[in-house]
Amino acid sequence: MAICVPSREIVIKSVKTCKTSKKTSLGHQLAYDWIMKSLDVNRTVSPRDMASAIGMSESSLKRWADNGLLSFTRTGGGHRRIRIHEAIRFIRERSIPIQSPAAIGLPSDFATTATDPENDESLLSLFQRGATEEAESFLMARYLGGVSIAQIGDDDIRPVLEALGHVPHTSEGILREHCATQVCLQVIERMRVLARGAEPRFQALGGAIGGDVYMLPTLLVSGVIEEMGGRAVNLGANTPTDSIRWDLANRSADSMPDLVWVSVSHFIDENEQVDDLLRLGRDCLDSGIAFFVGGRALVGPIVDRFTGFEVHSSLQSISACLASAKLG
């Protein structure tokens, strides 16, 4: 499951600036808040605007729509309209570069171009020199180019944050790691919004175990769930199993989740918390709710205690499981 965490994750609330970044953390947060408010995936655009965004002719776009490759609705006057969610799906499936995101009301960093692997700077290098805006664009370009949230988490974010977490604990090194973590949190939340379908096929609930302060692993899991057609309620870091159990006990029958997950990057009391997880897992299965756990703390003999339960060591493992699972 989500093991892509640094050793010292903190959400930045300081106004200090990463050395070569153009924005302060506060300014970056304000820009992020504006983007999230403007990112309405249910908003519709015209074929002309979408064609302008991707550099295609309007006639080609209408032809794709009429051939069933691109879903659309019609206005009362018979004009085609395309949901932003559907536009993003179409763009990602075909790896079509977005030349003018503003044409369909998307932020400027959604612009993507054909990449040259030999000349592209690595994500690690971008974070090391404090280029947070370029790092955001790097990750968004990967997603808009068709790479899954699971693969981005496993192959891009995880190794980079692990590398940053093992640098000497200088003031600059710690700041670089914290900046990188904040960027990843914000970008994954944006991907979650873009991945969310109008009608989920299953409902899910989860978070990180009590005492586990890492927010990114459980957020990534929720993003994978959304990408695989679910609707995820992410309870975040430091969520005791008793809190999840209380939530389940106080839900009506028609609002029960189909799946519960728990991310475990760190144990406070291994034996006691493993026992709590096993009790929660059995309660879920007895109630007909699927249950899985995972994380970097679940290794070696600990995994053997979860016989009969789903234990995942990567996001792509979760994605593959959800693709075949019958939920909802």
pLDDT tens digit string along 68-127? 899 998 988 888 999 998 999 999 999 899 999 889 888 887 887 655 445 568 999 999
Set out the domains of the chain in order of their start, with CATH numbers.
Answer: 25-37+118-193 (no CATH), 44-106 (1.10.1660.10), 200-324 (3.40.50.280)
Predicted local distance difference test score (pLDDT) of residue 92: 92
Predicted local distance difference test score (pLDDT) of residue 198: 75
Residue 311 CA from chain centroid, whole number: 20
Does pLDDT of 169 surpass 70? yes
Beta strands in 80-148 (DSSP E): 80-83
Residue 231: phi and psi, rounded to 5, are -120, 115
Predicted local distance difference test score (pLDDT) of residue 39: 67
Does pLDDT of 140 surpass 80? yes
Does pLDDT of 17 surpass 90? no
Pair 98, 53: CB distance under 8 Å = yes
pLDDT band at 265 (very low <50, low <70, confident <90, very high): very high
Question: How does DSSP classify residue 70?
Answer: S
Predicted local distance difference test score (pLDDT) of residue 11: 34
Top-confidence residue, 32 or 160: 160
Pair 217, 1: CB distance under 8 Å = yes
> Which pLDDT tens digit goes with each residue over 206-262?
999 999 999 999 999 999 999 999 999 999 999 999 999 999 999 998 999 999 999
Predicted local distance difference test score (pLDDT) of residue 37: 53
Query: Which helix (H) or strand (E) is 159 found in, with range?
Result: helix 158-165
Predicted local distance difference test score (pLDDT) of residue 283: 95
Produce one character per residue of 60-69: b if its CB has 16 or more CB atoms within 10 Å, e if not: ebbebbeeee
- Mean of pLDDT values over 182-209: 92
Calpha distance 17→46 (Å, rounded): 40
Predicted local distance difference test score (pLDDT) of residue 115: 52
Query: Which helix (H) or strand (E) is 206 found in, with range?
Result: strand 202-208
Does pLDDT of 267 surpass 90? yes
Residue 6: phi and psi, rounded to 5, are -80, 175
pLDDT band at 10 (very low <50, low <70, confident <90, very high): very low
Calpha distance 88→82 (Å, rounded): 10
**Residues listed for the chain:** 328
The 3-state DSSP class for residue 140 equals: helix
> Which pLDDT tens digit goes with each residue over 270-327?
999 999 999 999 999 999 999 999 999 999 999 999 999 999 999 999 999 999 888 8
Predicted local distance difference test score (pLDDT) of residue 327: 83
Does pLDDT of 186 surpass 90? yes
Predicted local distance difference test score (pLDDT) of residue 160: 95
Does pLDDT of 38 surpass 70? no
Residue 260: phi and psi, rounded to 5, are -125, 135
Calpha distance 312→294 (Å, rounded): 5
Of 164, 186, 166, which Cα lies nearest the Cα of 175? 164
Of 15, 310, 306, which Cα lies nearest the Cα of 175? 15
Cα–Cα distances in Å, from 36 out to 32, 61, 117? 6, 27, 30
Does pLDDT of 27 surpass 60? no
